[in-house]
């Protein structure tokens, strides 16, 4: 593989769901070892800007890792396509991910990277057609969701996996009262408690004041934050084991966003659920996540514990995402932007899909696609040059990348 790429056969092994370590104590030890590591230029201060109470949550994470957990969800080499078979559009390409009991996993990335489609696939909510599952497995409690019958799917949807969607205003039915919509879920999964008392209990659980009157309101009578709390109550009504929150703070102001995230974290701890959180906001990742998966163009490009990824990112795309976050201590006049945009389905570039936007791209990056490999203990990266320095203008594939221009700029006195 070449010395410059710095990946020996001893330290690099290809991703496989079976190869992913479930040794939480080892992961926590690795977090502690790496915390404060400045080799990649990401310091503790950077993590503090991203997640202001991250250090306090380290104790919470240590308790979780000490307890460990069994695998609840295991996605193995999932491939999902749209369009005609002769011209398939691969939206999810060879995605593998596990979520253990009581664990929170965050999936981050730009819009169009395949995050929501991957999450919807867990309960097979992506309509087929137009979608086609062309490979892989989705094991939920050891059972393959892709092989389940319609009756089995109805049992896990809500009962085992519940969803909180992006826009509560469009997800709630405008012609039914809030309490009626919560009771619908109770009638399907817990008919013995499908009554007003249980609806009121759920509304109290999610922090809605005066639940006796709020349950009789229509969605348009509630604020955005209240609507999202109703959605959370509906998701919790069936007592699921896995809660999938797809951008749960979209269209909410900053104060309400913080309240919703704190509510989700508290409910997860109290009810012992696992959670898959999809977000664009890197500031909340360190606050709630145990592990983080970074997606780009339908693939996972980096997977690590939350503290490890925030303080020691290895993939150029993850580094670029973190560099685009404003930092209080930075004296830069402009933020470092990621040039270009996520490629459209069917128009993925050859080789590494990030190479047209990557500051580390070399001449051979378009020639061969990299595999997701474990380059450090419990730290997986899809990049040949993850530990290589920035290339010279002669070596690089994108000499006008903003990160390269910034690196070549003379230091300001």
Domains and CATH numbers, the chain: 13-160+242-408 (3.40.50.300), 170-239 (no CATH)
pLDDT at 59: 34
Question: What is the Cα–Cα distance from 61 to 328, expressed in whole angstroms?
Answer: 26
3-state SS string for the chain: CCCCCCCCCCCCEECCHHHCCCCHHHHHHHHHHHCCCCCCCCCHHHHHHHCCCHHHHHHHHHHHHHHCCCEEEEEEEEEEEECCCCCCEEEEEEEEEEEECCCEEEEECCCCCCHHHHHHHCCCCCCCCCCEEEEEEEEECCEEHHHCCHHHHHHHECCCEEEECCCHHHHCCCCCCHHHHHHHHHHHHCHHHCCHHHHHHHHHHCCCCCHHHHCCCCHHHCCHHHHHHHHHHHHHCCCCCEEEEECCCCCCCHHHHHHHHHHHHHHHHHHCCEEEEEECCHHHHHHHCCEEEEEECCEEEEEEEHHHHHHCCCCHHHHHHHHCCCCCCCCCCCCCCCCCCCCCCCCCCCCCCCHHHCCCCECCCCCCCCCCEEEECCEEECCCCCCCCCCCCCCECCCCCHHHHHHHCCCCC
pLDDT at 177: 94
pLDDT at 406: 65
More confident position, 298 or 15: 298
Closest-CA residue to 396 (of 366, 359, 368): 359
Give the pLDDT band of residue 398 (cuts 50, 70, 90): confident
More confident position, 6 or 203: 203
The answer, yes or no, to whether the previous bond of 129 is cis (omega within 30 of 0) is yes
Question: What is the Cα–Cα distance from 95 to 109, expressed in whole angstroms?
Answer: 14
More confident position, 38 or 98: 98
152 has a pLDDT exceeding 60? yes
Q: How far is C-alpha 266 from the geometric centre of its chain's CA atoms?
A: 19
289 has a pLDDT exceeding 80? yes
Number of Cβ within 10 Å of residue 56's Cβ equals: 10
How does pLDDT run across 113-125, given as a tens digit for each residue? 999 999 999 999 9
pLDDT at 27: 44
Q: Which residues contact 334 (CB under 8 A, 6 or more apart)?
A: none
Mean pLDDT confidence for 41-62: 38
pLDDT at 220: 93
How does pLDDT run across 307-363, given as a tens digit for each residue? 999 999 999 999 999 888 877 766 666 777 788 889 998 889 999 999 999 989 998
Name the percent of the chain lying above pLDDT 70: 79
Question: What is the Cα–Cα distance from 234 to 179, expressed in whole angstroms?
Answer: 9
Question: What is the Cα–Cα distance from 65 to 30, expressed in whole angstroms?
Answer: 12
pLDDT at 69: 59
Question: What is the Cα–Cα distance from 405 to 281, expressed in whole angstroms?
Answer: 26
How does pLDDT run across 2-33, given as a tens digit for each residue? 434 443 333 344 444 444 444 434 444 444 44
The tally of CA atoms less than 13 A away on the side-chain side of residue 49 is: 14
243 has a pLDDT exceeding 90? yes
Mean pLDDT across the chain, nearest whole number?
Answer: 80
Give the pLDDT band of residue 378 (cuts 50, 70, 90): very high
Give the pLDDT band of residue 407 (cuts 50, 70, 90): low
Name the percent of the chain lying above pLDDT 90: 46
Give the pLDDT band of residue 374 (cuts 50, 70, 90): very high
267 has a pLDDT exceeding 90? no
Mean pLDDT confidence for 354-382: 92
48 has a pLDDT exceeding 80? no
Mean pLDDT confidence for 365-389: 93
pLDDT at 15: 46
* Torsional sign, CA 182, 157, 166, 74: positive
The CA angle 275-296-124, to the nearest 5 degrees, is 50
Q: Which residues contact 133 (CB under 8 A, 6 or more apart)?
A: 78, 79, 80, 121, 124, 146
pLDDT at 331: 65
185 has a pLDDT exceeding 50? yes
Q: Which of 48-52, 98-102, 107-111, 290-294 has the lowest mean pLDDT?
A: 48-52
């Amino acid at each position: 593989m070449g010395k410059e790429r710095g990946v020996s056969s001893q330290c690099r092994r290809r991703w496989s769901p079976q190869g992913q370590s479930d040794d939480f104590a080892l992961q926590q030890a690795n977090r502690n070892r790496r915390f404060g590591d400045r080799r990649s230029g990401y310091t503790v201060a950077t993590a503090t800007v991203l997640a202001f109470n991250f250090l306090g949550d380290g104790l919470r994470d240590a308790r979780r890792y000490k307890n460990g957990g069994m695998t609840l969800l295991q996605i193995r080499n999932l491939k999902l396509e749209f369009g005609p078979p002769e011209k398939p559009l691969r939206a999810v390409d060879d995605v593998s991910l596990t979520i253990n009991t009581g664990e929170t996993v965050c999936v981050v990335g730009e819009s169009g990277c395949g995050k929501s489609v991957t999450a919807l696939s867990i309960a097979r909510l992506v309509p087929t057609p137009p979608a086609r599952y062309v490979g892989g497995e989705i094991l939920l409690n050891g059972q393959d969701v892709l092989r389940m019958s319609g009756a089995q799917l109805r049992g896990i949807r809500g009962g085992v996996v519940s969803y909180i969607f992006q826009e509560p205003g469009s997800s709630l039915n405008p012609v039914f009262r809030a309490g009626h919509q919560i009771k619908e879920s109770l009638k399907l999964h817990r008919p013995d408690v499908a009554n007003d008392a249980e609806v009121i209990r759920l509304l109290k659980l999610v922090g809605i004041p005066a639940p006796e009157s709020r349950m009789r309101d229509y969605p348009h009578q509630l604020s955005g934050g209240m609507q999202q709390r109703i959605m959370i109550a509906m998701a919790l009504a069936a007592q699921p084991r896995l809660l999938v929150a797809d951008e749960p703070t979209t269209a909410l102001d900053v104060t309400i966003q913080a309240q919703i995230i704190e509510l989700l974290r508290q409910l997860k701890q109290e009810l012992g659920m696992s959670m898959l959180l999809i977000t664009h906001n890197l500031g909340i990742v360190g606050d709630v996540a145990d592990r983080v998966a970074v997606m780009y163009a339908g693939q996972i490009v980096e997977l690590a514990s939350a503290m490890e990824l925030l303080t020691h990112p290895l993939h150029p795309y993850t580094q670029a995402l973190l560099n685009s976050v404003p930092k209080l201590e930075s004296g830069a006049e402009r933020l470092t932007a990621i040039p270009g945009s996520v490629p459209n389905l069917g128009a993925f570039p050859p080789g590494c899909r990030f190479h047209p936007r990557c500051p580390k791209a070399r001449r051979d990056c378009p020639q061969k696609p990299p595999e997701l490999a474990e380059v450090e203990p419990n730290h997986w990266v899809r990049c040949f040059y993850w530990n290589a320095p920035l290339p010279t203008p002669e070596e690089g594939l994108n000499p006008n990348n903003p990160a390269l221009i910034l690196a070549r700029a003379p230091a300001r006195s």
